[in-house]
Amino acid sequence: MWSSTEAQGNAVEKAMIAEYTAANPNVHITYTGGLDSNDSNTKFLAAASSGGGPTIVGTNMAQVRVLYDNKLISPAVPTAMCGSKQQDLIDRYVSGTINSYIFDGSVYGLPTQQNSWSFFVNNRKFTQAGLNLATDIPKTWDQVAALQGKLKKVDANGRITQKGFEFRTPAIQWYINMTTDLMWQVQGEFFDAAGNPIWNSDKGVQVLKTWKANIVDPKVTTNVGNSPYNDFANEQDVMSYGGPNAVAFIESLNAAMKGNITVAPMPKAGPGPNFLYGYPAVVNTNATDAQKAAAWNFLNYMYSDPNRWFKNTGLLQPLKGWYELPAAKDFNGLPVFISDMTNARALVATTHYSQLQDAWKNAIDRVILQNQDPKASLDQSIKEYNTAIGK
Q: What are the tens digits of pLDDT across the range 109-156?
A: 999 988 899 999 999 999 999 999 999 999 999 999 999 999 999 999
Average pLDDT over the chain reads: 94
| DSSP bridge partners of 114 | 278
Closest CA relative to residue 1, chosen from 281, 349, 341, 382: 281
Per-residue model confidence (pLDDT) at position 35: 86
d(CA 391, CA 385): 9
> What is the DSSP secondary structure assignment for residue 307, as one 8-state letter?
H
Strand 275-283, strand 110-115: pairing:
antiparallel
Q: Find the distance separating the first CA and the last CA of the chain, reported in whole Å.
A: 36
Structural domains in the chain, sorted by start: 7-114+276-346 (3.40.190.10), 118-274+349-388 (3.40.190.10)
Percent of the residues in the chain that have a pLDDT greater than 90, as a whole number: 77
For 28-56, the pLDDT digits (tens) are: 999 999 887 778 888 999 999 999 999 99
Burial of 158 per CB tally in 10 Å (0-12, 13-18, 19+): exposed
**What's phi and psi for 189, nearest 5 deg?**
-135, 150
Q: Across-strand partners of 227? A: 224
Collapse the DSSP code of 344 into the 3-class scheme (helix H, G, I; strand E, B; otherwise coil) and give the result. Answer: coil
* Largest distance between two CA atoms of the chain: 68
Residue 4 and residue 279 in contact, taking contact as beta carbons nearer than 8 Å: yes
pLDDT on residue 139: 98
Question: Rounded to the nearest 5°, which phi and psi values hold at 377?
Answer: -65, -40
At 97 the pLDDT is 84
pLDDT in tens, 232-281: 999 999 999 999 889 988 999 999 999 999 999 999 999 999 999 999 99
Q: Which DSSP symbol is given to 283?
A: E
Closest CA to 264 of 209, 337, 330, 356: 337
71-109 burial string, b = 16+ CB within 10 Å, else e? ebbbbbbbebbebeebeebbebbbeebbebbbbeebbbb
What does the pLDDT read at residue 27? Answer: 97
**Nearest C-alpha neighbor of 357 from the set 281, 277, 285:** 277
Under the banding of pLDDT at 50, 70 and 90, the label for residue 59 is: very high
Q: Residue 305: what are its φ and ψ, rounded to 5°? A: -130, 80
DSSP code for 53: S
Query: Across-strand partners of 122?
Result: 261
* Predicted local confidence at residue 171, as pLDDT: 87
* pTM listed for this prediction: 0.85
What does the DSSP 8-state code read for residue 162?
A: E
Instruction: Give the three-state DSSP class for 356.
Output: helix
Q: Say which amino acid occupies 111.
A: P
pLDDT for 14:
97
What count of other Cβ atoms lies within 10 Å of the Cβ of residue 358?
18
Give strand ranges (E) for 15-148. 56-58, 102-103, 106-107, 110-115, 118-122
